[in-house]
């Protein structure tokens, strides 16, 4: 930041006033640019926002409405009566119990097994490279096979080129 030497003579005051006026113009330009930037960014966000509203919020509100009426066509509001019926239902209680049991068993088990697997993959054990190959090959084989299939299809004498040639393509 530059410091201006203040001169009490009339010429010095006029010069200081000019410098301050230039700075104000720069600030005005930057605020106009910032305003344009805000408007353009808002225009870019609008389609995504409308998509969220259309495909997430609107169905969510419709489901809330359906859960609180007896029949969607007649529209008789029963509010929380539907929820009390569900909670008293034996099948629902069994489903909640099964879901909680599955979650309480599978999540800790998956975390523990993943941690152990990461430790083994990063350890300095003698069979580390074989274990990595054994464990990671199922992840690599589908990708490699897809690459090979595409290479066969699009080879110079491949199936796709033969079809294009048969249809009169070049």
- Say what the pLDDT of residue 156 is: 86
- Tell me, yes or no, whether 128 and 170 share the same domain: yes
Q: Is residue 52 part of a domain?
A: no
If you average pLDDT over residues 21-29, what whole number do you get? 61
What tokens were used for 112?
Answer: 């523990």
Q: Is residue 95 part of a domain?
A: yes
Q: Is residue 24 part of a domain?
A: no
Given a contact cutoff of 8 angstroms between Cβ atoms, the answer to whether 121 and 131 are in contact is yes
Could you tell me which of 16, 18, 22 has the C-alpha nearest to residue 3?
Answer: 16
- Tell me, yes or no, whether 153 and 169 share the same domain: yes
Q: Is residue 129 part of a domain?
A: yes
Q: Write out pLDDT tens, residues 38-85.
A: 899 999 999 999 999 999 999 999 999 999 998 888 888 998 999 999
Q: Is residue 106 part of a domain?
A: yes
Q: Of 41-50, 88-97, 135-144, which gets the smallest average pLDDT?
A: 135-144
Q: pTM, whole model, 2 decimals?
A: 0.46
Q: Write out pLDDT tens, residues 119-128.
A: 888 888 888 8
- Say what the pLDDT of residue 35 is: 87
Q: How many domains does the chain have?
A: 2
Q: Is residue 151 part of a domain?
A: yes
Q: Average per-residue pLDDT in the chain?
A: 84
Q: Is residue 162 part of a domain?
A: yes
- Say what the pLDDT of residue 112 is: 97
How far, CA to CA in Å, does 113 sit from each of 65, 117, 130?
43, 6, 19
Task: Please indicate whether residue 6 or residue 144 has the higher confidence score (pLDDT).
Answer: 144
Q: Which residue segment(s) compose the domain that 107 sits in?
A: 89-123
């Amino acid at each position: 930041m530059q410091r201006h030497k203040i001169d009490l003579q009339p010429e010095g005051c006029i010069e200081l006033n000019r410098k301050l006026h230039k700075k104000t113009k720069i600030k005005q330009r930057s605020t106009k640019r910032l305003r344009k930037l805000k408007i353009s960014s808002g225009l870019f966000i609008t389609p995504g926002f409308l998509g969220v509203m259309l495909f997430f919020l609107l169905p969510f509100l419709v489901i809330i409405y359906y859960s609180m009426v007896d029949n969607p066509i007649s529209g008789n509001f029963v509010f929380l009566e539907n929820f009390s019926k569900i909670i008293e239902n034996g099948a629902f209680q069994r489903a909640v119990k099964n879901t909680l049991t599955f979650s309480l068993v599978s999540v800790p088990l998956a975390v523990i097994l993943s941690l152990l697997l990461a430790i083994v993959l990063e350890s300095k054990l003698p069979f580390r490279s074989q274990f990595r190959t054994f464990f990671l090959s199922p992840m690599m084989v589908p990708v490699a096979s897809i690459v090979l299939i595409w290479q066969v299809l699009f080879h110079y004498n491949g199936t796709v080129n033969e079809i294009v040639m048969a249809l009169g393509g070049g």
